[in-house]
Amino acid sequence: MEFYLGVNMDKDKKVAIVTGANSGVGFEVTKGLLKKDFHVVMACRNLEKANNAKEQILIDLPESNLEVMTIDLSDFESVKTFAREYKSKFQRLDILVNNAGILINKPKKNNPGIEMQFATNHLGHFLLTSLLIELMPDSKTSRVVSLGSLAHKKSEIFFDDINCDLQTKWDTPYAQSKLACLMFADELQRKLKSAGKKIISVSAHPGGTDSGLFEHMPPILMSILRYTFVPIFLHSTENAAKPILKAALDREANGGEYFGPTGLFEMKGSPGIAKRTKYSQREDVAGRLWNISEELIGSTFKLGAL
């Protein structure tokens, strides 16, 4: 599958960041961007795993410009440190793929006391984007890509219970976090458009894939899913990366669009426009989510300086 990024008016090499790039979908997205001659920064929590992934990629793509930088998206100070270090190395950012995500089946919170999946999957990326978007050239080829999930259809934003302490289903916190990612992408696009910017915010989901999320599940449940559910409904991580690459690279993509597989149950198939719930399109909810996200990260997301 080929995409055309368009003419880059700046002679400097295009730069992309992929969070959670050491495995799964992020690993394949990294390779896809390298094949399009991007300098890619693998933003990962585990340095050892990231460096091993880098070595593996360079075996197949030895001429690539690829480097590893450390980030823990659940730790907001780590996100700020990453942003400072990135700015010390690079003067531009063309594509930010907010890919990293965790799925856990037991309650867990980060140091400030925020539910871990909401902190990692949504808030860490919200903060990271706010710190780096000023480096993006004002062009439609500049993209912020947020990773949604089919799970978004199972939740709403629990503003009075943002940590999901009162929710009874084990997967509700994850579903809420991925819904938040999708709604953040939409609200960011509205704010970019209102500010008169050409940068676009898009979102995508990989469909069904064994992308590493199962690692946090109990071994028995993980085995059951991998050997029964996976072969029937899920596709390879290489195919799962295609909607994300389409969102990042397709010159026909428009701000606010949501991409995913178009096959049975949206689990796999050719990439195209994905389905979403009416709730996920509510601008009032997205605006409220933006405000509470700023409160939780302790800083304002400013677009005026772009």
Containing structural domain, residue 219: 15-297
Q: Is residue 94 a contact partner of residue 38, using CB atoms and an 8 Å limit?
A: yes
Instruction: List residues with catalytic annotation.
Output: 174
Please give the Cα distance from 192 to 160 (Å, whole number): 28
Q: Is the pLDDT of residue 264 over 70?
A: yes
194 sits in which H/E element: helix 172-194
Instruction: Tell me what pLDDT residue 2 has.
Output: 40
Alpha helices of 211-255 — where are they, by DSSP H?
219-224, 230-233, 237-240, 242-249
Q: Is the pLDDT of residue 134 over 90?
A: yes
Residue 31: CB partners within 8 Å, gap ≥ 6? Answer: 57, 60, 61
Instruction: Tell me what pLDDT residue 209 has.
Output: 74
Residue 9, domain member (yes or no): no
Please give the Cα distance from 44 to 42 (Å, whole number): 6
Residue 305, domain member (yes or no): no
Please give the Cα distance from 276 to 178 (Å, whole number): 12
**Band (7; pLDDT cuts 50, 70, 90):** very low
What share of residues in the chain are helix, strand, coil (percent, to 5)?
45, 15, 40
Please give the Cα distance from 121 to 54 (Å, whole number): 23
Segment 248-255 shows an average pLDDT of 97
Q: Is residue 243 a contact partner of residue 207, using CB atoms and an 8 Å limit?
A: yes
Percent of the chain with pLDDT over 90: 78
Q: Is the pLDDT of residue 145 over 70?
A: yes
Strand partners, 17: 41, 96
**How do residues 191-240 score in pLDDT, each as one tens digit?**
999 999 999 999 999 987 765 545 555 666 555 555 555 555 676 888 99
**Band (89; pLDDT cuts 50, 70, 90):** very high
Rounded to the nearest angstrom, the gap between the alpha carbon of residue 277 and the centroid of all alpha carbons in its chain is 19
Query: Domain of 257: which CATH number?
Result: 3.40.50.720
Segment 96-116 shows an average pLDDT of 95
Q: Is residue 211 a contact partner of residue 238, using CB atoms and an 8 Å limit?
A: no
Residue 83, domain member (yes or no): yes
Number of structural domains in the chain: 1
Residue 197, domain member (yes or no): yes
**Band (8; pLDDT cuts 50, 70, 90):** very low
78 sits in which H/E element: helix 76-89
Instruction: Tell me what pLDDT residue 184 has.
Output: 98
Residue 235, domain member (yes or no): yes
More confident residue, 209 or 160: 160
